[in-house]
Amino acid sequence: MSCTHVRIIATLSFALAAACGDASPPAAPSPSPSTPRTVDAKAPAPTVDSNAKVPVPGPADEPAGEDWLLWFDRGGQWITQWISVGPDRSTPVAERKALVLSDGTRLWVVERKDAEVDVVDCECFEREGVESGCKPSARLTTPGLHAIELGNGTELVVRAPSTERVVGGDIGLSLEVQGGVGPRLAFEWGDSGYYCGAHGSYESSFVLFDLSTGKEVEAPFAAVAEALPAEVRTTAAKEIHQLLDECEGDDGPSLQEVLSERMGLTSLHMGVAAGEPRLTWHFEAETYYACSSDYAAHGDGASGLVPGAAPLSLHVLPEGVVHALVTLRDVPTVGWARLSLFGAARQAALEAFEQAPEGPWPSGSSSERPIAAVTAVTAAGDEAGAKAKLEEGRRLTRAKDYAAAIAAYDAAIALDASLARVWSERGYAKLLMGDLAGAQADLEAALPLDDGAAFRAAVHYNLGLVAEKRGDARGARTAFETSLGLRDNEAVRKALARVK
The DSSP annotation for 255-301 comes to HHHIIIIIEEEEEEEEEEETTEEEEEEEEEEE--TTT-TTSEEEEEE
Which of 5-19, 116-130, 485-499 is least confident?
A: 5-19
Residue 64 has a pLDDT of 55
Inter-residue contact 254 to 237 (CB < 8 Å):
no
pLDDT above 70 as % of the chain: 82
Report the alpha-carbon distance of residue 95 to residue 488 in Å, rounded. Answer: 57
pLDDT(105) > 90: yes
Contacts of 216 (CB under 8 A, 6+ apart): 13, 207, 208, 209, 210
Provide the 3-class DSSP secondary structure of residue 246. helix
Per the CB < 8 A criterion, the answer to whether 69 and 102 are in contact is yes
Q: What is the pLDDT of residue 498?
A: 87
Task: State the chain's maximal CA–CA distance in angstroms.
Answer: 80
The confidence score (pLDDT) of residue 44 equals 37
Taking 50 as the threshold, does the pLDDT of residue 104 lie above it? yes
Q: Span 427-433, mean pLDDT?
A: 90
pLDDT in tens, 224-247: 999 999 999 999 999 999 988 888
Short-list 19, 29, 94, CA closest to 56 = 94
Give strand ranges (E) for 104-183.
107-112, 115-120, 138-142, 145-149, 155-159, 166-167, 169-181
Amino acid at 92: P
Predicted confidence (pLDDT) at residue 179 exceeds the cutoff of 60: yes
pLDDT at 16 > cutoff 80 = no
Rounded Cα distance, 247 and 252, in Å = 8
Q: Specify the pLDDT at position 17.
A: 41
pLDDT single digits (tens) 202-228: 788 999 999 999 999 988 888 899 999
Cβ–Cβ < 8 Å for 103, 72: no
Please state whether the predicted TM-score (pTM) of the whole model is above 0.85: no
Q: Using alpha carbons, select from 29, 84, 87, 59 the residue that is nearest to residue 349.
A: 59
Q: Could you tell me which of 172, 165, 207, 168 has the C-alpha nearest to residue 186?
A: 207
Instruction: Give the total residue count for the chain.
Output: 500
